[in-house]
Structure 1
Amino acid sequence: MMIVTDRLAIRRLLPTDFQQYAELTAFPEVADGAGFNFISNPQMIKSALVRQLKNKGTYGVFEDQQLIGAVLLFERIGASGRPDPEDLEVSYFLRPDRWQMGYMTEALKTIVAGVKARHQVRSLYAEVLVTNARSVALLERLDFELVTKLRDPILGSDKLIYERKLRA
């Protein structure tokens, strides 16, 4: 199923989208933000991308049939140590030449509304580096609330955890 907004088409990404997805994640700014810069083995990167494309929560953000961004929804690990289908974690990235044009706001607003309409998810969570002011502003515009700040031991940087409650 494809969702069409004023400027974008949003649909689930498929393994056939691999080439465009690989090109999107190869932008240094995207690779840094998505953590791909920590993977030095090209085969491991390819494997990670293929796994993401197989996930039913991986959505492509298209402008005129070109993949310009992605939104990934994954079950959050709950207090039991197991994935919790009522709490999802959202990650997103966009081609750098499309930053500050409102594309990700448009895409995330649409996806959040779709998830909320299904009444199956309690909350969406997002992690963002403290230094990523644009992403912090995006989450706050979309009514995500700051839950906590923590130090990421792998990155050695401070991160903020945001939550958007969808139901009680």
Structure 2
Amino acid sequence: MDLPIETTRLRLTELTLTDLADYENLIMIPEISVGAGFNLVSNPKMLGAVARRQVTAPNSFGIRVKGRLVGAILLHEQVGFDYQPDHANLELSYFLHPDWWHQGIMSEALIKLIEELTASKTIKTLNAEVFSSNQASKGVLKKAGFQKKTTLIDPLVSKEKVIYQRALR
């Protein structure tokens, strides 16, 4: 996949260690922290280690508007039935600075990324979990062509989640 990926409003780039401070600032925002589960990590050093691991992981993308990091899309390999990473089926997570919510930024970024992933023909499915109460995030996934698969209770926070899936090939 060729990066950066650009639209008229945003730019998707690979996250790197140069983004670490901005990334840490984003995940400390309460709305992002709670929604993405960062609030479950109470030790600041551990949270820093999580942030470092995420910005250096493959398939970690920064969403930039006017050159500023305003969000991220992260793709993680699922664990297959053989307990090995499944490179064809990925778990999707994402977050966006609240100042940019309800403007179509995340939908635009995700749709453009999915176009690129589909063209690469290496990924079979994307899966995403969202809290049932998060109507905006469910709307993003629906706009990006995801289908609802099931509903479950998240064992860590005892809240209902919906699992969505998008086939890419």
Q: What's the TM-score once normalised by structure 2's chain length?
A: 0.96
Q: Deviations over 1:17-54 (max 9, x none)?
A: 11111111111000111111011100000000000011
1:64 aligned onto 2:66: yes
In structure 2, how many angstroms separate the alpha carbons of the residues matched to 1:115 and 1:38? 31
Identical-pair percentage: 39
Corresponding residue of 1:131:
133
Query: Match of 1:6, SS?
Result: coil
From 102, 109, 112, the counterpart of 2:111: 109
Corresponding residue of 1:146:
148
In structure 2, how many angstroms separate the alpha carbons of the residues matched to 1:25 and 1:160? 22
Matches within 5 A, 1:6-155: 6-155=8-157
- CA RMSD for the aligned pairs? 0.8
Q: Gaps spanning 5+ residues in structure 2: where?
A: none
In structure 2, how many angstroms separate the alpha carbons of the residues matched to 1:99 and 1:79? 37
| Cα offset, 1:143, TM superposition | 1.0
Tell me the matched-pair count: 167
| Cα offset, 1:3, TM superposition | 1.3
| Cα offset, 1:79, TM superposition | 2.3
Q: What's the TM-score once normalised by structure 1's chain length?
A: 0.97
| Cα offset, 1:80, TM superposition | 2.4
| Cα offset, 1:107, TM superposition | 0.4
